A and B are shown apart, each in its own frame.
Chain A
Amino acid sequence: MKTMNLAAAAFAFALAGGAAAQEKLVVYTYDSFVTEWGPAPKIEANFEAVCACDLEFVAAGDGAALLGRVQLEGAGTEADIVLGLDSNLVAAAAETGLFAPHGLTPETDAPGGWADPLFLPYDWGWFAFVYDKTRLAEAPSSFEALIEAPEDVTIVIQDPRSSSPGLGLLLWVKAAYGDRAPEIWEALAPRIVTVTKGWWEAYSLFLEGEAMMALSYTTSPAYHSIAEGDETKAAAMFDEGHYMQVEVAGMLKGTDQPELAARFMAFMLEEGFQSVIPETNWMYPAKTPPSGLPEGFAALPVPAKTLAFPPEEARAMREEALAEWLEALSQ
C-alpha cells in the first residue's frame, strides 16, 4: 500500500511539474473582466483549450488604473499583455514606450475600422442616454431637442475626471458641436440633476427615478432584456450621431512570451473570445463571430452616424473640453 501511495505521489508530482513547465501568459485587465460574470473565465477556458498553455488574468484595478499600474511597474512588469484600455487612453499608453507592435492587420467590424500598430480592439460600443419607456413616452432625438424638451426631461451623467463614459460624453459633445460645445453645455446644465463619480451611481439614480435618462451605452437595454426580461429600457437615438468607445489590448515589449502573446492577440478576434463578449461585457464584439450576435443585441437600434476622434486628437482635445465643461457647469 505504501509503495502505491508513493508511486501516486510521484506521479502527481510529475504532473504538477509538467504543469509548471507549461508556458504561462499573464494578462493584466480591469477588475470586472475577471469576475465570475465577466468574460475572463470563459475566455481562459477557450484559449487554454487551443494553446496548451496557462493563461492567467490579473485584475489590476479599474479601467484607468490599469495603465497606471503598468507604468508603476515599468519594464519589470510581469504582464505580457494589457487588455482593457479605453481608446481615449491609447495615445497616453503609446507614449509610455512599453508596448510592442502586434504586427497584425485584422479586419474588424468597429465602425470606421481600426489601424493602430500597437493596440488591437476587442469590443466597442456607442455611448447613449438610456431611458424608461414607461416614464418617458418620447425621448429627445438630439442634444438640441433635449435642451428644448419639457423641463422634467432630466439627465444624470458621470464626471469626465473620474469616469470613462463621462469623458466619452465630453468628447461626444465636442465631436458633434465643435466650438459650440460650451454653449450646448450651458444650455444642458439645468437638465443635469447631478454628476457622479462612476457609472453605478448615475445608473442607480436613474433607476430610482431621480432623472429621466442616464448616460450609458446603446447596448444597456440589451442587458435588461436578455438578463432580466425587462423590455422597458431603451436608448435615445440622437441625430448628431453617437460617440464610440473602443476597448483595446496591447502586448508589452518586455514580455518573455512574445510568440504566445502574439497568438493571444490573434485569438482575441476569433470566435472563442468574441462570442463571449456580448453577454458578459455588454458591448459589441470587435469582430462579429460566425455564430452572430445574441437576439437582444441584433434588435438594438443603430445610430445613423458614428462619432470618434482619432486617439491623438482625443488626447489633445481633452484638456480644453474639460475646461469648457467645468466652466459651463460651475456657474
Chain B
Amino acid sequence: MNGAARPPAGLLVWLAGGAALALVLALTLGAVALVALRAEGAGALTTPDLRALRFTAWQAFLSAALSVLLAIPLARALARRRFPGRGLLVSLLGAPFLLPVIVAILGVIAIWGRSGWVNDGLGAIGAPRIDVYGLPGVLLAHVFFNLPLATRLILQGYAEIPAERWRLAAQLGIEGRALFRLLEAPMLRAVAPGAFALVFLICATSFAVALALGGGPRATTLELAIYQAMRFDFDLGRAALLAALQFALCLGLALLAAGLSAPAALGPGFGAAPERWDGRGGLARAADAALIALGALFLLSPLLAALLHGIPGLGAMGAGVWPAAGRSLIVALAAAALSLALAGALAGLIVALEARWAPAGRLTEALGLLTLAVSPFVAGVALFLALRPLISPVSAALPLIALVNALMALPYALRLLLPPLREAARDYGPLAASLGMGAGARLRLVWLPRLRRPLGFAGGVAAALAMGDLGVVALFSAPGAPTLPLYVYGLVSAHRLEAAGGAALLLAGLSFSLFAAFDAWGRARDPA
C-alpha cells in the first residue's frame, strides 16, 4: 500500500481523483438530474422507445463484438510483423473514428453503397449487387470506425508484454496455441473487455450513422429519441428519462466489462524491444500478410474515397475557414491537456481504490466511461441551465466546449492509461515506496516513461475529437466566431455542399494531424 507509506502523494491522488470523479458525475448523472428537475412533469416511455432500446443494445453489442473479435487477429499480426509502412498504417488506424460523421458516412457509402466501388465491381463481373442499408450497413460503419480503435488498444496490450517473456517462451520452445494461452490470452483478458465496453458505448450513442446506414426508422437509437424529445418536442422530462435509460444500459455494460477483465500480471520487464521468435513459418507469415492487407484495404478504401470527395471543394472554402480552424485548434489542445489530466487523476484514484476495496475501483472505472453515454444534447442543455444564472454561456463558449470535450474524451484516455498504470503500480509501486520517492519523482521516473505511449495516443484522440465536435457547440455557438465544425455546417446550410466537403476534409485532415503529432510523440521512444 504505497498510499500509506507516503501520505502526501496519497492525499494528492485522493484529492485530484475525487475532483475528476466529481466533474464526471456532475456532467453525467448531474446533468440528467438537472434537466429532469427543470421538466414539467415526468416523461413516460412508449412502445417505440422500448423498440429503440432493444435496437440500440443489439446493434451496439454486435458492433462491439465484431470490432473486438476482428481486432484481435489484426493486432496480433501487426504486433509480430515489421514491414515498411507499418508505422504509417498504425497511425492511420487512428483516422476512421476521428472523421466527421458525414465524411465517414459518405466514405463508407462510396465503397459499399448502391453505386459504390464494391457494387461496381460486382456488376462488372455479373455478380448480384449487394444492398447494405439495414443492420449490415450499421455494423459495417461501426466496425469501420471502431475496429481500428480496438486494434490500437490491443496493440498497446501487446506492447506491454515484456520482451523477457517472449524470450523465455522461445527458450522453452513454446509456440502457437500454448504461447497464445500463456502470454497473449492473459493480456487480452486485461485489455479486451475494456475495449469492448468502449466500443459498445460509442455505438450505443450513435445516431446519424445508425440512421443513415440503417435504412430507416427500424434503425432508431435512443439517442435519436433523446434528440427528438429535446429539440422537436422540448419535452425535458422525456429527454431526461431516455437519457437515464441510456445511462443504465451503458453503466451496466461497463460494469460487466470491468468485472470480466483481470490484470495480465505478466510481471515487470526492462522495457526493451520485444523480439518475436514465434510465427516464423511460411504459413503464419502468409496468414499475417493476408490479414494485414485485408484490414488495410477495409480501412483505407473509405478514407481514400472521403479524400477524393473533399478535394474539389478545397478551393471554395471561403476566407473564414482559417480563423475557424484556429479557434478549433486552441479548443482541441486545451481539451487534450485537460482530458489527460482528468484521466491521470481518475486512473490514479482507481488504482488506489483497488488496493483497498476492489469493487469500489471497478465502479469508479465504469463511471469513468459514463461521459461517453451522456447525450451531448442533454449535457449541453444542463450546462446552459446551470451556468446561465452565473455567466453568459455564450461568452464562455470556447472554454466550455474545451471542458465538455475533455470530459467526452476522458473514457478513451482512461481506457488507455489505466491498464499500464495498474501494471506500473503493481510492479514498481512497492519499490518506489520503499525508496521513499515523492510524488514528483514517482511521476517522472516511474509513471511517465511507462505511460508515454498511451498518453500520446490518448492526447491525440482527445484533441482530435474536440476538434471535430459539434454536439455541444450548437447551444453555445458564438455568433461570428464559429469553430471549424460549425463553419462546415454554415456552408451546408448555405447549400454550398462542395465547399462544405472541402472544409470537412480540412477538418478531418487537421484532426488527424493533431492526433498523429501526439501519437508520434508517444511512440517516439518506442523500441523498434
| Cα distance A38–B493 in the bound complex, in angstroms | 8
B217 pairs with A162, CB closer than 8 A: no
Closest chain-A Cβ to B527's Cβ sits at a distance in Å of: 44
Interface size on A, residues (CB 8 A): 58
B224 pairs with A210, CB closer than 8 A: no
- Cβ of B477: which chain A residues have Cβ within 8 Å of it? 31, 59-61
Q: Known contacts A195-B215, A195-B217, A207-B497: does B232 contact A161 (CB below 8 Å)?
A: yes
Tell yes or no: B212 within 8 A of A by CB: yes
A161 pairs with B115, CB closer than 8 A: no
A205 pairs with B381, CB closer than 8 A: no
B133 pairs with A69, CB closer than 8 A: no
Contact of A223 among B231, B381, B474, B495 (CB under 8 A): B495
| Cα distance A167–B51 in the bound complex, in angstroms | 21
Closest chain-B Cβ to A142's Cβ sits at a distance in Å of: 22
Q: Binary interface profile of A, 73-96, with partner B (CB < 8 Å = 1, else 0)? A: 100000000000000000010000
- Cβ of A200: which chain B residues have Cβ within 8 Å of it? 102, 489, 492, 497, 500
A159 pairs with B494, CB closer than 8 A: no
Tell yes or no: A32 within 8 A of B by CB: yes
Closest chain-A Cβ to B310's Cβ sits at a distance in Å of: 12
Closest chain-B Cβ to A285's Cβ sits at a distance in Å of: 17
Q: Binary interface profile of B, 470-483, with partner A (CB < 8 Å = 1, else 0)? A: 00001101111010
Tell yes or no: B114 within 8 A of A by CB: yes
* Size bracket, chain B contacts: 35 or more
Closest chain-B Cβ to A235's Cβ sits at a distance in Å of: 14
B217 pairs with A325, CB closer than 8 A: yes
Which one of A57, A59, A162, A325 has the greatest number of beta carbons of chain B within 10 Å?
A59
| Cα distance A60–B208 in the bound complex, in angstroms | 21
**Interfacial residues of chain B within 235-250, with CB under 8 A of chain A in the complex:** none
Closest chain-A Cβ to B134's Cβ sits at a distance in Å of: 9
| Cα distance A168–B227 in the bound complex, in angstroms | 18
Tell yes or no: B76 within 8 A of A by CB: no
B490 pairs with A32, CB closer than 8 A: yes
Q: Binary interface profile of A, 154-168, with partner B (CB < 8 Å = 1, else 0)? A: 100001011000010
| Cα distance A266–B385 in the bound complex, in angstroms | 33
Q: Known contacts A194-B216, A195-B216, A330-B218: does B224 contact A65 (CB below 8 Å)?
A: no
Q: Known contacts A37-B491, A329-B216: does B482 contact A159 (CB below 8 Å)?
A: no
Which one of A58, A161, A199 has the greatest number of beta carbons of chain B within 10 Å?
A161
Closest chain-B Cβ to A276's Cβ sits at a distance in Å of: 13
A37 pairs with B494, CB closer than 8 A: yes
| Cα distance A47–B89 in the bound complex, in angstroms | 55
Q: Binary interface profile of A, 189-212, with partner B (CB < 8 Å = 1, else 0)? A: 100111111111101110111110
- Cβ of B51: which chain A residues have Cβ within 8 Å of it? 330
Tell yes or no: B74 within 8 A of A by CB: no
Q: Which 5 A-B pairs have the closest CB atoms?
A: A32-B493, A35-B490, A37-B494, A209-B115, A161-B228
With contacts A38-B493, A204-B106 known, what are 7 further pairs, Cβ within 8 A? Answer: A36-B320, A161-B224, A192-B215, A197-B208, A200-B497, A201-B208, A329-B218
